[in-house]
Amino acid sequence: MYLYNFIIENKELFKIIYALIIGLICMIIVIKSHKLFHLSLHKGIRYFRNAFFFYGIAFVIRYFFGTGFLYDYTGLNYQIAVGILFEYFLIMAGFFLLYSLLWKKIESSESEYLTSLFNSKIIVFYAMAAVIVFLDYIWQTYYFMFFSQIVLFAFASVLSYINYKKNGKQHKFLKFYFIAMILNLIAWSLNALAALYFNWHHGFLINIYILNIIIFLLFLYGVIKVTNI
């Protein structure tokens, strides 16, 4: 209880530390998965890498550049922009994780793109993310984001479970992927509950922050275990 009270009393400092931890984890995952892609040339790894590139940007924007310490020096437009960018990058990160599971069903074996960040297939997800952010901005809510990510990770959990059952013995990382998808689904569901029923209760949110760190550490552990580079 003392720890919770301490965090609540120093919540802005805690958010900065939280952003730095998530940002550092994402940076390591991006670097290691980038190396792994160049060794294996597996396209799915590129999209997996992109997901954590966007997650890192999202968390740093929201909890570092959006910290309450800056409120006295920034205007309302700056705070709105931070919220919009955070939501957009967060949603796109989820889409990239999903696409890392789906790309074989969407792209042909002959498909070659100059970049995995922006191509004729990925542009659809950019447009969908923009629509979700726009709807949340118009209605001044995060409900569209919550609903989209809960559906996304429910679908991703099913796909990752199927992949694990098929190829889990050959690819150990698939087990971590499946567990992480389930935890992501739980985290987004808890976020929705925090907004709908708990009015963003600080104690409830701290548990979600801790769960998020566990999820990212799980991904990091899986990547390190697979790459060893």
Residue 4: inside a domain: no
Section 94-113 average pLDDT: 82
pLDDT digits (tens, 9 = 90+) for 72-99: 677 788 889 999 999 999 999 999 999 9
For 63, the domain range is 11-227
* Residue indicated by tokens 């990547």: 223
Residue 2: inside a domain: no
Residue 23: inside a domain: yes
Residue 82: inside a domain: yes
Q: What is the model's pTM? A: 0.91
Nearest to 55 by CA among 92, 84, 28, 14: 92
- What confidence category does residue 109 fall into, taking pLDDT thresholds of 50, 70 and 90? low
Q: How many separate domains does the chain show?
A: 1
Residue 3: inside a domain: no
pLDDT digits (tens, 9 = 90+) for 17-42: 999 999 999 999 999 988 887 766 56
Dihedral in degrees, nearest 10, Cα atoms 120, 126, 132, 137: -140
Q: List Cα–Cα distances, 57 to 8, 17, 170, 204, 211, in angstroms.
A: 24, 15, 32, 24, 19
Dihedral in degrees, nearest 10, Cα atoms 152, 57, 212, 168: 60
Whether the predicted pLDDT of 16 surpasses 80: yes
Residue 6: inside a domain: no
pLDDT for 111 equals: 66
Buried b (16+ CB within 10 A) or exposed e, 184-206: bbbbbebbbebeeeeeeeeeebb
Q: How far is Cα 57 from Cα 70, in angstroms, rounded to an integer? A: 18
pLDDT for 169 equals: 66
- What confidence category does residue 110 fall into, taking pLDDT thresholds of 50, 70 and 90? low
Residue 175: inside a domain: yes
pLDDT for 143 equals: 92
Whether the predicted pLDDT of 68 surpasses 90: no
Residue 96: inside a domain: yes
